[in-house]
Structure 1
Amino acid sequence: MELSEMGLGRELRAVGLQNELERSLTAMNAVHAELASVTATAVSPDRLIKVTIGAHGDVRAIEFDPDIFGAHDPAGLAAAVLATLAEASTMIATKLADRYAELAERLS
């Protein structure tokens, strides 16, 4: 977000805070971009399903081992996919918390 969009540019220049706020906004945008790029991939215990999700819980990829189609019934496959998605969601939450802590430490 630009300072002019917030209508604060002139006022901040007057008190000498514009450069500091611009540095903070740049750092916040960098943190947001870095966190948005985090992904997590979970593999089902039988190694037949792999699910990758993004930082917002969006499913980026689902991969199936070719052997899965003859070995599982549809209800079992659906349950395995849901369980693997849940594992990936837990993983992404942990990764984001760790990354946020690293970035917060770097910015302080």
Structure 2
Amino acid sequence: MASNEQWKLLEQLVQEVNQQTEQLKQMQERMRELSATAVSRDGMVTVTVGPRGEVRAIELDPRVYRKLSPSELSGSIVEQIGHATRQVSGEMKELMEPFVPDLPFDDLFGEETGFESFLPRPGTP
């Protein structure tokens, strides 16, 4: 038969698991709500991205068509998407780091990260 001390230890462990589960739920909710907005230096282009870097909004100042060529405009849009994506990746890292401190965040969320970073390397299971 389990002693009173063992029951207290079990209750403490259950409370810790419940607390960690709640913290993970809160982190997941915050991750779903993450977004970042980047604005070009000239204020002509504003881009907002979501937690996975998906573009949620692109706002263009009406004067942009008079001030920028099509290639300058597309370049500015791509640049702001990059800025916003790096910002939201940093916020994601901050949220996740307390839960998985040994995760190689720079490898997963770094600037040079591409889809292939998530694929298995040859010779690995």
Shift of 1:92: 1.3
Alignment length (residue pairs) = 89
Q: What TM-score do the two structures reach when normalised by structure 1?
A: 0.68
The alignment's C-alpha RMSD in Å is 2.2
1:35-72, Cα deviation, whole Å (9 max, x unpaired): 22121111112110001111111111111001002222
Match in the other structure for 2:65: 69
1:56 is paired with a residue whose SS is coil
Distance (Å, rounded) in 1 between the aligned partners of 2:58 and 2:71: 17
Moved over 4 A (4+): 15-20
What is the identity, as a one-letter code, of the residue corresponding to 1:34? Answer: R
Contact persistence 1:50–1:84 (CA under 8 A)? yes
Q: Could you tell me the percent identity over the aligned residues?
A: 25
Q: Which has the higher contact order (CA 8 A, sep 6+)?
A: 1
Of the three residues 46, 54, 58, the one matched with 1:58 is 54
Are residues 1:36 and 2:32 paired? yes
2:21 aligned residue: 25
Structure 2 equivalent of residue 49 of structure 1: 45
SS in 2 for 1:69: helix
Gaps in structure 2 of 5+ consecutive residues: 1-9, 100-125
Match of 1:81 among 77, 84, 91: 77
TM-score by length of 2: 0.60
- Change over 3 Å in CA distance of 1:36–1:77 after alignment to 2: same
